[in-house]
Amino acid sequence: MESIPGPMLGPFDTYSQALFAACRKIFTKPGSSAGRSPSATALREEQEAFRLRRRVAKEYCAWMYYTPDDKYEISLLTDQSEPDPTGATKRCIPPSFVEDRRYPAKSIQYIVVLHNHTFDNRLSAKDIRFIVGQGQLHGFEPKSKDGNPRLSVVAFFSNEHENPSCDGFYGYTPYIGKILKWTRGDKQWSCTQTHVVKWLGNDALEEPVIVEATAPCLSTDAP
Spell out the SS3 assignment of 37-50: CCCCCCCHHHHHHH
CA distance 215 to 205: 25
CA distance 194 to 123: 10
What's the confidence (pLDDT) of residue 207? 81
What's the confidence (pLDDT) of residue 10? 95
Helix (H) or strand (E) holding 178: strand 178-184
What's the confidence (pLDDT) of residue 221? 74
Q: Is the CB of residue 207 less than 8 Å from the CB of residue 199?
A: yes
What's the confidence (pLDDT) of residue 62? 98
| DSSP code of residue 167 | -
Q: Is the CB of residue 98 less than 8 Å from the CB of residue 63?
A: yes
What's the confidence (pLDDT) of residue 209? 92
What's the confidence (pLDDT) of residue 139? 95
Q: Which CA distances in Å does 143 have to 138, 164, 173? A: 11, 33, 15
What's the confidence (pLDDT) of residue 144? 92
Per-residue pLDDT of the chain in tens (223 residues, 90 and over written 9): 789 999 999 999 999 999 999 999 999 999 999 999 999 999 999 999 999 999 999 999 999 999 999 999 999 999 988 766 665 667 899 999 999 999 999 999 999 999 999 999 999 999 999 999 999 999 999 999 987 789 999 999 999 999 999 999 999 999 899 999 999 887 789 999 999 999 876 555 578 999 999 999 987 776 7
3-state secondary structure of 130: helix
